[in-house]
Amino acid sequence: MSQALYRKYRSKSLSEIVGQDHVTSLLDRALESNKVAHAYLLTGPRGTGKTSVARILAHKITGLSYDIEDNNLDIIEIDAASNNGVDNVRDLREKALVAPIKSQKKVYIIDEVHMLSKSAFNALLKIIEEPPEHVVFILATTDFDKVPDTIVSRTQRYNFRLIDKSTVADHLAFIAKEESIKIDTDALNLIAERGGGSLRDSISLLDQIQHSESKNGEITRSDVEASLGLATKDEINAIGEAILSGDALKIIAAVRQPELRGIGAVSVADQLYNWIQRNLESYPYLVTYFEDLIKVQKSHRPDVAILVAVLKFAVKMPEPQIIQRPSTQESHKSDSLSMSSKITEEPIATAEPPEKSTKILDTESKQNDDSSDVVSQKDQNKKNNFNWQSVLDYLNDHKSEFKGIHAILEKSKPIVKDNKVSLYVLNKFNKTKLDKRRAVLGKILSESGMSDEAIVAYEKDPENDIAVMAENIIDKKKFELKTSGISIKADSDHIHLIQTKMIGGSKCIVINIEEDIEVNGMKVKG
């Protein structure tokens, strides 16, 4: 029976440890100076080299030659997952008092030490506090937070990191060459990605797929995808492009494509997670998907959960609504201040950033005294002889050049007035990004046959206009409502006083007067 690759290529010296130079260099210098601690704590994700370093360190301390298969009586390995009781630790303490047989030191390696019970930790603490001169402890854990501070404070701690994908891929290429495994670079990169920063897991995957059927005798990315039950690169890209388009039907069709081939939703969600990570620089707002994609793994219906997650940005955005002017009689009551409102309930009630299913007004909406509706985009464009489609057509022809801003402008809604364009955007981040790229906007407009002064990302307008300013909705730290007739402010300590209620069939903003509230610059007390 052949030996598993991860065991065959386990490091036998500190210089062979992959991706943990910050740990091995410190240990090397300490050993060269003959400075050996009585207790070490190795922490970090699984498969990053903790056990290998523990064994190498143990043999360095004892002076015994290192053989992976050896069984030295002066090096004792204990799995805390199966030996986690107080009796196990008490037995360890008794045996630790016995002098070493072949070397000057006796080393105890306790793996997954966080699995010890509370009473077992207390028993271990006693010997770590005052260990016999000949005893050294090396503790390893994947869950540092569960190790008591009393233990941590009495050890030298070394933190292991997830290993960079390129470093893992390079090491896999080395192993493949040694094992005469013909595999292309794209396939190795995919294995490294699926390993998730764990070298051991990545080597195990290589071991698994090394006998995959390949057309030309060389394992390709498609061979790895088939062997591991993954969606193809094209399928994941199709889902990503559908998400960026905001087209719900395209998203559903793209997500179902790998499902029709029997690829599980959990696997697709994980691959899509990695796709978003690679594209965050261009589309930072996609970070909001992460939490929902992680939930897919724990869902009883992952096929449904992934659809819910990816349709987040495809929900039809409602038209922006205008707050109606409040009547004088209703503006102040004994215990509350209410205003008739057509604004959506959730943003005002919670003072939280609205979901993507709610269109945010990123400029002040306009309303004449005798009108309660926003002038439609179509009518405004016609009136101002402005062709927004020409801008979008130009963007579509130059997606690579205007990567990132293209997706924002494509989903924005322009409102034209007085030869200026105000944009409804998806969120505050998009507004900020547009503001920072005014030069790019100017180029886009110029190439579309328009003046670079014809557009603004944010515009405050007339005194007579009644509007809820965008920052009042999307800023978590305060509530501030301004119209031509009234100004209401509440700081972060009093934002909980703001809510919405249905009064007389109308949706109203209600502010409880329990604390100081500022109305038109004057404080109102309950």
How far is Cα 342 from Cα 340, in angstroms, rounded to an integer? 7
Check residue 140 and give its pLDDT: 95
State the Cα torsion 211-217-223-224 to the nearest 10°: 60
pLDDT one-digit tens code per residue, 202-222: 999 999 988 777 767 889 999
Please state the three-class secondary structure of 46-69 as a single string. CCCCHHHHHHHHHHHHHCCCCCCC
Check residue 513 and give its pLDDT: 64
Check residue 326 and give its pLDDT: 46
Structure tokens at 392: 């979008």
Q: What DSSP designation does 509 have?
A: E
Which of 256, 291, 310 is at the close of a domain? 310
- Which DSSP string do the residues of 356-414 spell out, in sequence order? TTS-B-SS-----TT--SPPPHHHHHHHHT--HHHHHHHHHHTTTTTTTHHHHHHH-EE
Is residue 297 a part of any domain in this protein? Answer: yes
Residue 183: how many other CB atoms lie within 10 Å: 24
| C-alpha triplet 492, 496, 497: angle, nearest 5° | 110
Residue 463: how many other CB atoms lie within 10 Å: 7
Check residue 285 and give its pLDDT: 81
Same domain, 98 and 237: no
How far is Cα 375 from Cα 421, in angstroms, rounded to an integer? 13
Is residue 196 a part of any domain in this protein? Answer: yes
Same domain, 137 and 20: yes
Is residue 277 a part of any domain in this protein? Answer: yes
- pLDDT by residue for the chain (526 residues), tens only, comes to 578 898 889 998 999 999 999 999 999 999 999 899 999 999 999 999 999 999 999 999 998 887 755 677 889 999 998 888 899 999 999 999 889 888 889 999 999 999 999 999 999 998 998 889 999 999 999 999 999 999 999 999 999 999 999 999 999 999 999 999 999 999 999 999 999 899 999 999 999 988 777 767 889 999 999 889 999 999 999 999 888 888 888 889 999 999 998 899 999 999 999 898 888 888 888 888 888 888 898 888 988 888 888 887 665 434 434 434 444 444 444 344 333 333 333 333 333 333 433 333 333 333 344 443 434 444 444 444 556 777 777 777 766 666 667 777 776 767 655 556 666 665 666 677 776 676 667 666 666 556 555 454 443 333 333 333 333 333 444 566 666 566 777 665 665 666 666 665 565 677 766 556 666 666 766 5
Check residue 176 and give its pLDDT: 93
Is residue 364 a part of any domain in this protein? Answer: no
- 468, amino acid identity: V
Same domain, 222 and 302: no
How far is Cα 56 from Cα 28, in angstroms, rounded to an integer? 11
Buried b (16+ CB within 10 A) or exposed e, 5-27: bbeebbbbebeebbbbeebbeeb
Same domain, 297 and 178: no
CB 352 within 8 A of CB 476: yes
Same domain, 24 and 153: yes
Check residue 16 and give its pLDDT: 92
Same domain, 136 and 203: no
Number of domains comprising the chain: 3
Check residue 480 and give its pLDDT: 65
Is residue 459 a part of any domain in this protein? Answer: no
Which of 130, 159, 188 is at the close of a domain? 159
Same domain, 57 and 135: yes
Q: Which of 305, 292, 294 is nearest to 255 (CA)?
A: 305
Helix (H) or strand (E) holding 135: strand 135-141
Same domain, 35 and 141: yes
Same domain, 110 and 196: no
Beta bridge partners of 387: none
Q: Which of 329, 334, 327 is nearest to 525 (CA)?
A: 334
> What does each C-alpha distance from 51 to 46, 77, 282, 431 come to in angstroms?
9, 10, 39, 49
Helix (H) or strand (E) holding 128: helix 118-129
Give the structural domain span for 223. Answer: 165-228
How far is Cα 355 from Cα 334, in angstroms, rounded to an integer? 34
* CATH number of the domain bearing residue 184: 1.10.8.60
Same domain, 178 and 60: no
Check residue 66 and give its pLDDT: 78
Same domain, 113 and 248: no
pLDDT one-digit tens code per residue, 30-82: 999 989 999 999 999 999 999 999 999 999 999 888 775 567 788 999 999 88
- Alpha helices of 1-108 — where are they, by DSSP H? 5-8, 21-32, 50-62, 86-96
